[in-house]
Structures are given as C-alpha cells and as structure tokens.
Amino acid sequence: MLKIGVFDSGLGGLTVVQALKKVIQGAELFYIADTKNAPYGEKTSEQILQFSLDITQHFIETHQIDALIIACNTATSASIKILRERYPEMIIIGTEPGIKPAISQTSTGNIGVLATPTTLQGDKYQQLVNRLSTPKHITLYEQACPGLVEQIEKGALDTDKTKEMLMAWLHPMKKNNVDTIVLGCTHYPLASEVIQELMQDGVKLIHTGEAIAKHLLSLGEKSGHVNEGSLNIILYTTGSINTECMRSMLDMTETVHLISL
C-alpha cells in the first residue's frame, strides 16, 4: 500500500488532499498541518527549510512514507531541492504557482498572481516565470497577500476586513483587464468564491491540486503502485486549528491528532 505524507502550515494543503481523494486509491495518506509554525509565508527561508526537514523526518520515522507532497508553495520554494538531494529514492512532489496553465487559458494576456511574500520573492518562482517566457504577449500582475492565510485559518473569509484586503489587491487586476488569476498558495482556493464575487466578470482561477494528484498517480504506478482499493486518511496538527473545518473539507468524521515535532 502506497504511503503518502502531505504537509502545509494549516488548512490550505487540504485543497490538495481533496484532489488526491478523487484520484488516488489503495493508499494511506498522513496529513500534517504545522499550525505551531504558521504562517509559513512570513517566515525566513531557513526557518521553512527546517520545518520541512523536521516534518519529512517525522513522516519517515513514524509512517515509513513512500511519497511526500509539499502542499505549500512557500515550503516548496524553500525546501524541495534539499529534500530531493537528501531522499533521492522517495517520490517528492512540490507545489508551484500555475503560471503555465494560466498562459494557456488567458484571452487577454493579462494574468494575476496572488501569492505569499516569500513565494513571490523566491528564486524558484522567478525561475518558473523566466522558464515560461513565451512569444505570446503576457503581462503578469503579481500581488503579495500578507495576512490572507491568517484570515482563512480563522474562518473569517466572509468578513469586511477580508473583502477589503482582497479588494485592494484585486483592483489593479480588474483595472488592467486580468481574465485569469493564479492562486499561488494552497490556502487561496478556499477564498475562490469571494475572489470571483469581487472580480465580477467570470475570471478564471488557477490552482494546482488536480495536477499534483495526477502526477502522483503517474509516478506511483511507475514504481509499482496498484491504484485500487480505499484511501485511508489520518489528520495531524502541531498546534490549534479548526478541526471541524478540517473534517468537513474532506467529508470525514475522524479525530484530528495533536503531535509534537
């Protein structure tokens, strides 16, 4: 049975787990919400790397995982290179902003990117943008969203404060005829309805959970995984979290376990 470790700083990585649930069978999935150290997007790269190393070691020692999903754009940028060097035999899949599908879907050529400050400043994001430079005329409107993860974690999406934050960030995109927005943090799909409401003109929102699930299935089958049977999910958190929201996102009744790393 394929054993999968998935982690993020909180609820956001569950948007990836939702996608995995639709694709992966015959596996055990262990999810860690590292809320003790959240939000990652405002920590240093060195801190995030250490969190990622500690969590990965815990997965290996406790659950003997075969595959690791870094369900966080910020942690991917800070740690995936080191993790792949340290664990070359393990399937390791990161999360990066969906610039490529956004380029293929935009009609106006104007693409918005919402992400954490650390993601936008990271080398991995800059390399991604440079790699995907294309003859098609594309203008990226990049916007760091400090504080949005915290609002989502608090369940404060439908509040005046959150809407004011998003309105300020989205106004330049609306003004410049952005028709496609990359959700460059796994938390941000949870704010999709509010973003759609504020943009008001059928903007396309891009997030990468489905692509990650298909990629894991492909790599898993190449290594001998038979995609049949049930998917068992166990949820962990390193600190306080809205456990009811965790369970409801995955339509589960299981206990959320508190762990110390």
| CA 182 – CA 189 distance, rounded (Å) | 10
The residues annotated with a catalytic role in the active site are 72, 185
Neighbours of 175 (CB within 10 A): 9
CB 215 within 8 A of CB 20: no
13 burial level (CB within 10 Å; 0-12, 13-18, 19+): buried
CB 21 within 8 A of CB 250: yes
Helix or strand or coil: residue 1?
coil
DSSP for residue 193:
H
